[in-house]
Structure 1
Amino acid sequence: MAPKVYPNQESTTSSQSQSHNQYCLSSKRETYTLWMKSLVLHSNGCTVYDSNGHIVYRVDNYDRKGKREVNLMDQQGNLLCTIKKRLLALGCWEGHKYCSKSNSRSQEQQPWFEVKKCLTLTGKIACEIKAGSKNLCIERISIGKSIAFRIVNKLDGQIIAEGKQKQSSSGVVLSNDVLTLDLAAGTDHSLIMALITVYGLICGKM
């Protein structure tokens, strides 16, 4: 029997009582499981589980890959960010955050972040990111066919997130679309997940 993406997947429901806010920022390091598939008929997208097997983020692209606009959602389907590929710029994406106003959610006009793909295919850096005052980049990690990566602060070289192919508790290596995602303390998890979504689009995984 093939190992499961996450052992507690069956216990996950959309009626979980945990608020998404508790996942946005954390004072300690966190580890997630990132599955580069949507729960909707295992179609294009991704699903993110916390260490208890609860879904915390999801992207559902259904039967289409490489869409010009995708949405990052929390476990209850609330929109957190819309990611758009800019039509007139080669390899450029921008993310627009959603905020709550008067019991509704609206998209902010100014981009939350901008991502520019590095056109050198053999280089270490896959893309460069501008998010407010932060300058980040996503570095490729060469591990087989996995899309292993790390997100790095260009100012001081700090690794703020790293994704590598997951192993089960018994040491079995899962498929190359299942990653263990380690997040540094104080990281905005929603921002990191939005950036990983862009990286998935760049790599043709969504």
Structure 2
Amino acid sequence: MGRVHPQALQLLSPNCSFTSKQESFTLWMKSLVLNGKGCTVFDSNGQIVYRVDNYNCKDKHEVHLMDQEGNVLFTISRKQYKLSRFWEGYRSPATRNDHKGPCFRVCKTYKISRGASTYEVELGLDKNQPCTLKIESGTAKSACKITDEFGVTVAELRRKKSPCGVDLGEDVFTMVVEPNVDISLIMGIVVAYSLINCKM
């Protein structure tokens, strides 16, 4: 099988989850575990930086976003309140006295729009400092785009192509993250978005 990651550009420090400049990642919507469900994320050097592995394929109500060493960064759980369903992300590891709520919540908004679906992302719920992001899917050039409350793009997911323009498949994406953004948080949001759309 050919490589799905891009050529070497610059290695992201494993101790820093914030970008200092625009970063590019490759998402392969496959688990590295045999018969598992999940995804694998490569940096620009082709090293694994994040992964999701659901060992129990029958239970899709909770998944864990892990770093390259298997440390859980976020636990992402499906919730339901009355008729609405959404996914919540809890930052890990939790301390013994940590009774905080979810770090983020992703839900689909049911607005009439042409050709695109929108999703609302609530952030800062664990610190009582809520703010919102928006995910737009089905746009002409991207699989989805994450924007802040002012409409500024913070991350974008596009179908990955080879250098000669060949599509690498429906399960391989390029994720571009803008500077000064928490990459692990964006990855958690993308995982929740993928779960909502049954892509994982």
TM-score tier after normalising by the smaller chain length: 0.7 to 0.9
Q: Does the CA-based 8 Å contact 1:35-1:177 persist in structure 2?
A: yes
Report the AA paired with residue 165 of structure 2.
G
Superposed, which structure 2 residues align to 1:139-150 within 5 Å? 139-142=136-139, 148-150=143-145
Report the AA paired with residue 100 of structure 2.
Q
1:153 alignment partner in structure 2: 148
- Of 60-69 and 157-166, more deviation after overlay is shown by 60-69
Q: Does the CA-based 8 Å contact 2:118-2:136 persist in structure 1?
A: yes
Normalising by structure 1, report the TM-score.
Answer: 0.81
Superposed displacement of residue 143, structure 1: 5.6
Report the AA paired with residue 118 of structure 2.
A
Q: Does the CA-based 8 Å contact 1:125-1:139 persist in structure 2?
A: yes
- CA distance in 2: counterparts of 1:163 and 1:106, whole angstroms: 36
2:4 alignment partner in structure 1: 5
**Which runs of no fewer than 5 residues in structure 1 stay unpaired?**
9-17
- Asked if 1:36 is matched to 2:53, the reply is no
- CA distance in 2: counterparts of 1:73 and 1:66, whole angstroms: 18
1:92 alignment partner in structure 2: 86
Q: 1:45 to 1:165 in 2, by over 3 A?
A: same
1:71 alignment partner in structure 2: 64
Superposed displacement of residue 117, structure 1: 1.7
Superposed displacement of residue 19, structure 1: 5.8
2:181 alignment partner in structure 1: 187
Superposed, which structure 2 residues align to 1:38-187 within 5 Å? 38-41=31-34, 43-62=36-55, 64=57, 67-89=60-82, 90-99=84-93, 109-119=100-110, 124-132=116-124, 133-142=130-139, 148-154=143-149, 156-187=150-181
- CA distance in 2: counterparts of 1:51 and 1:106, whole angstroms: 37
User: Deviation per CA, 1:88-119, whole angstroms, max 9, x where unpaired?
Assistant: 35221111101476xxx997632101112224
Q: Does the CA-based 8 Å contact 1:99-1:107 persist in structure 2?
A: no
- CA distance in 1: counterparts of 2:112 and 2:52, whole angstroms: 26
CA RMSD of aligned residues (A): 2.7
- CA distance in 1: counterparts of 2:140 and 2:67, whole angstroms: 29
Moved over 3 A (4+): 105-108, 119-123
